[in-house]
């Protein structure tokens, strides 16, 4: 059974800092891994999807890496902004679209 | 392109009743999956449908069921509601196994 851990659980930083959010998972037989953000009371917004054969994926100020063999992924956020404040969730996909979610990292970026 | 649409947005039901939630996927997406989000358990997978067939099912009791129609729209049903079923129910659609999941804003169900 896949288990996902995200560290840290919460993070508060001043605007402009570069951040690293960590995700670890126990079952490395994954199709892909997705990172999402969730704003309070809303659904999830897809940020990045890394295929199992890829090492990293970039979109704007976001960069996600994947080390499948060690069961780790990181999300790097460059030059953080107050609008980045949200909960960030990672989710490996082991079968079909059956994602397993971590508990998330709650990020607060202060102006 | 319209996103994933879930209706209704909010629901209040009484213990013992049943409820049906609806999800319209992004046009062209044939995979629809459902998730339950609670403060205690976080996000948990309920089931996934692809071309009207249930492909995967999470670890939920049989009171939770779903279906998908030929136009890819999906419904989930919860019978004999319990207080613990109070949650945000999220629907997601995708083109395939290796495509991003796109989520709707969810239906918030409160059971009293």
Q: Give me the residue from B33, B44, B90 closest to A97, CB to CB.
A: B33
Q: What digits encode the pLDDT tens for the residues B2-58?
A: 899 999 999 999 999 999 999 999 999 999 999 999 998 999 999 999 999 999 999
B92, A96: Cβ pair inside 8 Å? no
Sheet with B64-68, side-by-side order of all strands? B5-7, B19-24, B74-78, B64-68
Predicted pLDDT of residue B7: 97
A60 Cα to chain B: minimum distance (Å) = 17
CA distance A42 to A98: 20
Predicted pLDDT of residue A14: 97
Predicted pLDDT of residue A42: 86
For chain A, residues with pLDDT lower than 50 are: none
A42 Cα to chain B: minimum distance (Å) = 5
Predicted pLDDT of residue B89: 97
A98, B56: Cβ pair inside 8 Å? yes
Would the pLDDT of B80 be above 90? Answer: yes
């Amino acid at each position: 059974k896949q288990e996902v851990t995200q560290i840290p659980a919460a993070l508060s930083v001043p605007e402009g800092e570069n951040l690293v959010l960590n995700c670890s998972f126990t079952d490395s037989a994954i199709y892909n891994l997705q990172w999402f953000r969730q704003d309070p009371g809303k659904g999830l917004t897809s940020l990045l999807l890394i295929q199992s054969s890829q090492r990293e994926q970039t979109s704007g100020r976001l960069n996600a890496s994947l080390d499948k063999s060690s069961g780790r992924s990181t999300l790097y956020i460059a030059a953080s902004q107050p609008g980045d404040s949200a909960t960030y969730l990672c989710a490996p996909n082991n079968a079909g679209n059956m994602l397993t979610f971590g508990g998330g990292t709650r990020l607060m970026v202060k102006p | 392109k319209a996103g994933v649409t879930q209706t209704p947005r909010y629901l209040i039901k009484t213990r013992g009743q049943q409820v049906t939630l609806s999800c319209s996927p992004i046009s062209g997406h044939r995979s629809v999956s459902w998730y339950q989000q609670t403060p205690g358990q976080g996000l948990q997978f309920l089931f996934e449908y692809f071309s009207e067939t249930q492909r995967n099912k999470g670890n939920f009791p049989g009171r939770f069921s779903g279906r998908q129609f030929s136009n890819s729209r999906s419904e989930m049903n919860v019978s004999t509601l319990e207080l613990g079923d109070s949650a945000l129910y999220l629907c997601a659609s995708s083109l395939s196994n290796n495509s991003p999941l796109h989520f709707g804003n969810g239906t918030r169900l409160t059971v009293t």
